[in-house]
Structures are given as C-alpha cells and as structure tokens.
Chain A
Amino acid sequence: GAVVSQHPSWVICKSGTSVKIECRSLDFQATTMFWYRQFPKQSLMLMATSNEGSKATYEQGVEKDKFLINHASLTLSTLTVTSAHPEDSSFYICSARDSRGIWVFAEAFFGQGTRLTVV
C-alpha cells in the first residue's frame, strides 16, 4: 500500500525553540494532508488540513502562529512548532490521501507519528 513517511520519529527540544516535523508521501501525490495531535489516553484530534499551494485550514482552538504548516509540494507537508513549551509535548501524526481516484472513497494513509518532548 501507499507509504507516508514522517520524520523525525521522536524529538526532544528545549523550551522556547522551534521544531519542524516533515510528512512525505513516498509513492503517491497528496493534494491534501492532515495533521493530528494525540494526548495520552485521548483521541487523535485534527489540528489542521494542509492543501498544496495554499494556506492551511486550522481547527478551532489551534493557534496558527504556533503551529505553522507548509505544503510546498504534492509530496511534502511540514509542521513547525514555534517557541515550543512543555504543554506542546505530544504525539503528532500526519495523514495523506492519494489525489487520484474518487475523493470520498480515498483511503487515508498515516505517518508513523512524531513524539515531541519539550523540556
């Protein structure tokens, strides 16, 4: 099946620094990618929808200036956590849908996730 590669798998950073997480679709083009966040023992919560060549659409309550999303090509979306703080520590997962075919039936493929720890 299709592969979505997310990098890094885990990262530890100091409070106040910025961290960039990459999400790549390796064998298909993804017009749209999604970024999710998972708190311990909680559901995966959609943070934003990333569209190639345009601004991301953020869910209510997600700070646009803190979580910068760039979708510069059909195979790459990045999430940058700016001025990270300990409360940003979480598990971040991206997903992508193959742009071909019928959208409503398109399967979502997920990256392996990134464990961010801010100290």
Chain B
Amino acid sequence: GNSVTQMEGPVTLSEEAFLTINCTYTATGYPSLFWYVQYPGEGLQLLLKATKADDKGSNKGFEATYRKETTSFHLEKGSVQVSDSAVYFCALRADSGYSTLTFGKGTMLLVSP
C-alpha cells in the first residue's frame, strides 16, 4: 500500500535559518506529491505540489523536488520566518482519478525571533 514517512518534530529554528523537512514515500505507479501546511487554529492548506518525477513545486519561498530515484519529496526553505511556524504534512495521491490522499504524521516547525 501507499505510505508517507516524514521526520518527527518539532523542528526548532531561529529566524532566517535554512529549513529541511524530509519526506519519503512508498507507492505503486506514479503518485502526485504534496506538502500541506496547517497554521494554528486553521485547516490544512496546500503549500505546493508536484505531479511527476523531477518536477519542482514552489510557493512562498518553499520548494520541494519530486525525486523518483530516492522516492523523496523533501521540503526546503532558505530563510524561515516566525510566521512559518506551523505543522507541515507531506502527502501523496495515487493518480487514479478518485483516489484520496495518504498523509505523513506531520512535522511541527517552531521558528523563534
């Protein structure tokens, strides 16, 4: 079956530090990959996505590259801000039309001034 593994948190960083949150997946076929973010008190929001190998998703300074050879989709940001403090979920969707999302456990990011 499909599964997503992401690093455990919390990840604690100072403002302007470099961020990496690791995500690896197991899936049959060619899944689409996503990063969702959940800010305190809010629902999950799509942060970025990639639908095929070597695609790079990017948004709000965050990037992730779909690496089929390593089955990874690591999230990176060059300089984090306090406002980036949230829980980040890596997810996959097997591209069979009506399939649902499989999530990782989520990684809490705490950024201090």
Which residues of A are at the interface with B, using a C-beta cutoff of 8 A?
1, 4, 6, 9, 32, 34, 36, 41-44, 46, 49, 93, 95, 103-105, 107-113
> In the complex, which residue of chain A has the Cβ closest to the Cβ of B90?
A43
Which A residues are in CB contact (< 8 Å) with B105? 41-43
Cα(A111)–Cα(B41), bound, Å: 10
Bound-state CA distance A43–B36 (Å) is: 13
- CB 8 Å contact bits of B89-113 with A (1 = contact, 0 = none): 1000001011011111110000000
Whole-angstrom distance between the alpha carbons of A99 and B99 in the complex?
A: 14
Identify the 8 closest CB pairs spanning chains A and B, nearest first: A110-B44, A110-B43, A112-B43, A44-B103, A43-B103, A43-B105, A111-B43, A104-B97
- The total of Cβ contacts below 8 Å across the A-B interface reads 46
Q: From B41, B44, B45, B98, give the contact of A93 (CB < 8 A).
A: B44
Q: Does B69 contact A (CB under 8 A)?
A: no
Q: Which B residues, 72 to 102, have Cβ-Cβ distances below 8 Å to chain A?
A: 89, 95, 97-98, 100-102
A95 contacts across to B, CB distance below 8 A? 44, 101
Cβ-based interface call for B17 (8 A): no
Closest residue of chain A to B91, judged by CB? A44
Using C-beta atoms within 8 Å of the partner chain, give the interface range for chain B: 20 to 34
Contact in complex: B103, A49 (CB < 8 Å): no
10 A-B pairs (CB sep. < 8 Å): A1-B45, A34-B100, A41-B8, A41-B105, A43-B106, A95-B101, A103-B98, A108-B101, A109-B43, A110-B45
Cβ of B20 to closest chain A Cβ, rounded Å: 20
- Given A49-B100, A93-B43, 20 more pairs with CB closer than 8 A: A1-B45, A6-B43, A9-B41, A34-B100, A34-B101, A41-B8, A42-B105, A43-B102, A43-B105, A43-B106, A44-B89, A46-B100, A46-B101, A95-B44, A103-B98, A104-B95, A109-B43, A110-B36, A112-B42, A113-B43
Question: In the complex, which residues of chain B have a beta carbon less than 8 angstroms from the beta carbon of A34?
Answer: 100-101
B50, CB-defined interface residue at 8 Å: no
